[in-house]
Structure 1
Amino acid sequence: MARATHLEPTLAVTTVAVLLAVAAGVPAGRTALVGVAVLAGQAAIGWCNDWLDADRDRAVGRTDKPVVQGVLTPGLLRNATVAAVAVAVGTSLALGLVPGLLLLVLVASGLAYDAGLKRTALSPLPYLTGFGALPAGVVAAAPGAPAAPWWLV
């Protein structure tokens, strides 16, 4: 399951979010929530990608993919995606409406990319919206829900 999350980018994005939370003065408990929310969202995006691309990955012989290797099934990845989205929604919104919704823009952007935007001229849009919303959501989790500086978004 870990490999299907696209582990390296998932851990990189989560680490950046946690470090940004610490730098923004987000209290420890809320920083942990940021970490769980971002990790769950990134896992959902990775699992969704491998679930939705299973047939394509098989057709082109992507032997690096756990579904192609027969280690995981698309159904398991679908269920894991749904569960991870539920965790991401719950932990994001536990941070408050503004930071929660901003963090969920990252998740929704990644899922939209997986669902088909990646094969269109709009493929950069989820990256712009998602990675713009990430620092805004993390900073908004700090006391007083401050806005992130424009250059960070």
Structure 2
Amino acid sequence: MSVPQVANGQRWLMLLLDADAALHPFIQAALRRAPYAALRQLECHATTSVQEAQQLLSQYRYQLALISLESVGHPTLPLLENAVLTRQLVREATSDPPLIVAMTSVGSQAERAQILELGFSGYLCKPFTLGTLFESLAAALDLA
């Protein structure tokens, strides 16, 4: 895959949904230094709320979404329930759903496998390294 572009020549878009707003500039800055040219070209729209994410999903065509499962559901819900809610959020808000990388601060290998079986394109457990972030996003976009 070369430089990510949509048909009209605009940059590819990535939606970042995480209630921890302090993480947003970290991920946005990391993308600008990514080892994959395609990731460096992503335009990242960040939000902390489900409502704003729904609005953005209805307004823009995202190719990729990095979504904190706990930011969609409730921290006390089982991880898989939050994953199902995340898939519903994306499907209901857009007619052309993006690839979704699930992000969570908890989770086991078994839960990771179940989340991927639900149709997520990737899984990222916090805390993560920049290398893991890049690998997860690149794998979701089939860059590696």
TM class by shorter chain equals 0.3 to 0.5
Which protein is richer in strand relative to its size?
A: 2
TM-score by length of 1: 0.34
Which protein is richer in helix relative to its size?
A: 1
Q: Higher relative contact order by CA 8 Å / sep ≥ 6: 1 or 2? A: 1
Q: Select the structure of larger CA radius of gyration.
A: 1
